[in-house]
């Protein structure tokens, strides 16, 4: 598990979810984590975002199948836009959460010295039936997007519980 080192220049806890193109897994996690934070009454305590390891879809919205699957569960991902993760994100976010081990490797290589403690693997925050990686649904059918949503719901609940145990959230 990672430990929080709340950024001294911000009063909010920053959480960044990262996947390959920022159009399926990481925006799903961003939307679900926002919903979990809102349901917990902690809206004003977090800065939540998502990003890509690659520049394939910068400026584009999430995949239409991602948006549709999320909408069925009450999440609106349509306004989100893909962006690429940068070295500056390690100063801006307390948690940089990789959706799979490939992203974890890329983030570990990108992190400036002393920032590695901010990086974690998403499914390390939740029981996942032995899975370590959130599977990429992009090349599959609709069931893949539902699987991602199921894993993301569990992972976001676990991540929020971890943060609530370890971070100063105040009131």
Q: State pLDDT tens for residues 23-73.
A: 999 999 999 999 999 999 999 999 999 999 999 999 999 999 999 999 999
Q: Which of 25, 34, 45, 118 is catalytic?
A: 25
What mean pLDDT is reported for the chain?
92
Could you give the CA distance from residue 171 to residue 169 in angstroms, rounded to a whole number? Answer: 7
- Catalytic one of 65, 81, 124, 136: 136
Domain coordinates of the chain in residue numbers?
13-166
Beta bridge partners of 14: 47
pLDDT digits (tens, 9 = 90+) for 129-139: 789 999 999 99
Active-site residue, selected from the candidate residues 19, 34, 89, 118:
19
Long-range CB contacts (within 8 A, 24+) of 107-115: 107/18, 107/53, 110/85, 111/87, 112/87, 115/90, 115/91
Does the active-site annotation cover 132? no
Strand partners, 47: 14
Q: Are 22 and 83 in contact (CB under 8 A)?
A: yes
25 catalytic? Reply is yes
- pTM, 2 dp: 0.92
Identify the residue with better confidence: 10 or 56.
56
Q: List the CATH code of the domain at 13-166.
A: 3.40.50.2300
- For residue 170, pLDDT over 80 is answered with no
Catalytic annotation present for 156: no
How many helices and strands in the chain, by DSSP H and E? 5, 4
Q: Is 11 exposed, middle or buried (0-12, 13-18, 19+ CB in 10 A)?
A: exposed
Q: Which pLDDT score, from 0 to 100, does residue 80 have?
A: 98
């Amino acid at each position: 598990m990672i430990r929080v080192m709340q950024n001294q220049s911000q009063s909010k806890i920053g959480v960044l979810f990262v996947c390959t193109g920022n159009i399926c897994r990481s925006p799903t996690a961003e939307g679900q984590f926002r919903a979990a934070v809102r349901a917990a009454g902690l809206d004003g305590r977090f800065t939540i975002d998502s990003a890509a390891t690659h520049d394939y879809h910068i400026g584009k919205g999430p995949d239409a199948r991602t948006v549709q699957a999320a909408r069925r569960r009450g999440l609106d991902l349509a306004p989100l836009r893909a962006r690429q993760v940068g070295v500056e994100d390690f100063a801006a976010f307390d948690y940089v959460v990789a959706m799979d081990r490939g992203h974890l490797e890329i983030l570990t290589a990108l992190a400036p010295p002393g920032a590695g403690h901010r990086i974690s693997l998403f499914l390390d925050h939740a029981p996942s039936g032995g899975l370590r990686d959130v599977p990429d649904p992009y090349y599959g059918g609709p069931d893949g997007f539902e699987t991602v949503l199921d894993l993301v719901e569990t992972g976001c609940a676990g991540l929020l519980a971890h943060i609530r145990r370890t971070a100063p959230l105040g009131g």
